Amino acid sequence: MTLERRELPDAAAIASAAAEEIARAAADAVAARGRFRLVLAGGHTPEALYRLLSSPPWRQRIDWPKVALLFGDERCVPPDDPRSNQRMVRLALLGALAAPPAAYLPMDGAAPDAAARYEGRLRGELGDDPPDLLLLGLGPDGHTASIFPGSPALEERSRWVVAVPPPTTVPPPIPRLTLTPPLLIRARRTLVLATGAEKQAALARALAETGEERETPARLVRRSEGEVSFFFDPAAGRALS
């Protein structure tokens, strides 16, 4: 695992730098394996990135018909609910692409046995290959994907997707689905995006030499088998040593 810290001036610069990383990873993956598997983060931070990816020049730079879009987590709400990550992705990315991706796998958070069903679809898409690029956000409580402080998901050893009860540390207090460390840590490249002063303490704990995953689940990326980068703005990075 390599861990890069990159402070960028603002959210727009983070989106642009992340788009560049994604375009580069996509070109490498398509050249090597004919397909680019991208795991999308939810929440608000990646929205600007997704809008950038679906606009020129990125819309043309990325070979979308060779891209598989996967999800790192989802809120258990209907797909048109304003809190739905797939709704945000549909509006910010999918709807604006000139050509559909090779595969689009939203999590159907409202379905019964949704975690097992998504895991089956994920295994069908990935086979023995790891995700090429994993996008993650960072909650002010130190969560990432939908793995919250103290979550049993941190100790998961075999399942790739689990259902998560409503978090008590951040809104919205609704059940979620999340990818788990056994899959997350296999990503060839992980990009963690964090902006704003509310992420200061969590980012400092995530990047500290020592700390507990149970307190700061985003520290799980330190177990990654691939390359890890944290992209953050000055407000989020203010508490870094």
Q: Which residues bind ligand 6PG (CB under 6 A)?
A: 41-45, 73, 75, 85, 137-139, 143-146
- Complex with ligand 6PG: residue 30 or 107, whichever CB lies closer: 107
SS3 155: helix
> How are beta strands 73-75 and 176-179 bridged, if at all?
antiparallel
Nearest approach in angstroms of CB 34 to ligand 6PG is 28
To which H or E segment does residue 182 belong? helix 181-184
Give residue for tokens 């402070």.
7
Helix, strand, coil share (%) of the chain residues, nearest 5: 40, 20, 40
Nearest approach in angstroms of CB 137 to ligand 6PG is 2
> What is the spatial distance between Cα 105 and Cα 179, in angstroms, rounded to a whole number?
13
Q: Report the greatest alpha carbon distance in the chain.
A: 45
- Complex with ligand 6PG: residue 42 or 101, whichever CB lies closer: 42
Nearest approach in angstroms of CB 7 to ligand 6PG is 17
Order of strands across the sheet with 133-137?
2-7, 227-232, 189-194, 133-137, 36-40, 67-71, 103-104
- Complex with ligand 6PG: residue 30 or 206, whichever CB lies closer: 206
Nearest approach in angstroms of CB 85 to ligand 6PG is 5
CB burial of residue 90 (10 Å; 0-12, 13-18, 19+) = middle
> What is the spatial distance between Cα 54 and Cα 93, in angstroms, rounded to a whole number?
5
- Which residue has the CB atom at the shortest distance from ligand 6PG? 137
To which H or E segment does residue 74 belong? strand 73-75
Nearest approach in angstroms of CB 218 to ligand 6PG is 9
- Complex with ligand 6PG: residue 30 or 183, whichever CB lies closer: 183
Nearest approach in angstroms of CB 60 to ligand 6PG is 27
Contact between 4 and 228 (Cβ < 8 Å):
yes
- Complex with ligand 6PG: residue 68 or 134, whichever CB lies closer: 134
Nearest approach in angstroms of CB 49 to ligand 6PG is 11
- Complex with ligand 6PG: residue 63 or 84, whichever CB lies closer: 84
- Complex with ligand 6PG: residue 63 or 229, whichever CB lies closer: 229
